[in-house]
Amino acid sequence: MSARRVRPSRYISVDIEADGPIPGPYSMLSLGAAVAGTQDADGFIAADPEELTFYRELRPISEEFVPEALAVSGLDRELLKTEGAEPAVALAEFGDWVRGVCAGAQPVMCGYPAPYDWTFLYWYLIRFTGASPFGHSGCLDMKTLYATKAGLPLRAVAKGTMPRHLLSRRRHTHHALDDAVEQAELLANLMNWPGPSGSAPAAG
């Protein structure tokens, strides 16, 4: 099969806020997503991360929580018990949104770092909707992407060690949508970065 016939990937930057380390005993309290861009055989094209977005705050699914984890998001757990969206409704809406913005392309979730957010997102999707629009492996970790391009061990990577021009100028607020938009800009910068000693190909 020609590479040019492969379906493009549409990257969805996702950030979640949760009240503990794992889903099930603990709850995902908010979910933010933004379309970051599209990659095909010709390369990566960034999207305006504020144009196509999704955000929901969710009802907790258990009484357990880790106070330190809850404090990070600043969300009111008691208020979410009555005003948060039902997880089954919110995750069904999210799945429909992903499929809508990814028409003609394969959805790929991306995050920095992705494993924590992916763990909650995938568990919630399967638990409450029975399916994931990303499949079981449609996930890209931006931390790994940077480590590979920079030639660094993964555990040596942190945002503070990255060249400043790669980072979004937006603040990391721990609001799920704000951070999804911020991370979408980081992905676009990483995708177009040739690496620390690389340079863009000469025209012509």
Q: Which residues are catalytic?
A: 174
Cβ atoms 154, 143 nearer than 8 A? yes
φ, ψ for residue 186, nearest 5 deg: -60, -45
Check if the beta carbon of residue 147 is closer than 8 Å to that of residue 157: yes
- At a CB cut-off of 8 Å and minimum separation 6, what does 95 contact? 125, 129, 131, 132, 133
d(CA 112, CA 94): 20
Q: Are 108 and 86 in contact (CB under 8 A)?
A: no
